[in-house]
Amino acid sequence: MTSKGVKMISTEEIEEILQKAVPDATVGVVDLTGTSDHFEIRISSPSFKGTSLVDQHQVVNRALKEPLDDGRIHAIKIKTFVPAKAS
């Protein structure tokens, strides 16, 4: 728990949420500040092929809606990719 009473979220929990949302994805999450509320997310999925960058980011944002809404995640930097094999 943080001093504000908001439960913290781990990089592993974020990876698990994203793996459930995009089962064929390769996911990496980095805690950018060490405070467990600012993260960089790198997610690669063949299912992103043919979709816009905005649509790809919306998939991530929808999957993380709850922890974003309740304050467990304050900020995210999203990088999405289509694997080379899917090109």
pLDDT digits (tens, 9 = 90+) for 41-58: 999 999 999 999 999 999
**Token pair belonging to 55:** 């649509």
d(CA 25, CA 32): 21
Burial of 19 (0-12, 13-18, 19+ CB in 10 A): middle
Q: Does some domain include residue 2?
A: no
Domain that holds residue 45: 11-81
Residue 65 domain-assigned (yes or no)? yes
> What's the total number of domains in the chain?
1
User: Is 24 within the bounds of a domain?
Assistant: yes
CA angle 67, 58, 9 (to 5 degrees): 20
Domain-located, residue 63:
yes
> What gap in Å lies between CA 49 and CA 5, rounded to an integer?
40
Tens digit of each residue's pLDDT (9 = 90 or more) over 60-78: 999 999 999 999 999 999 9
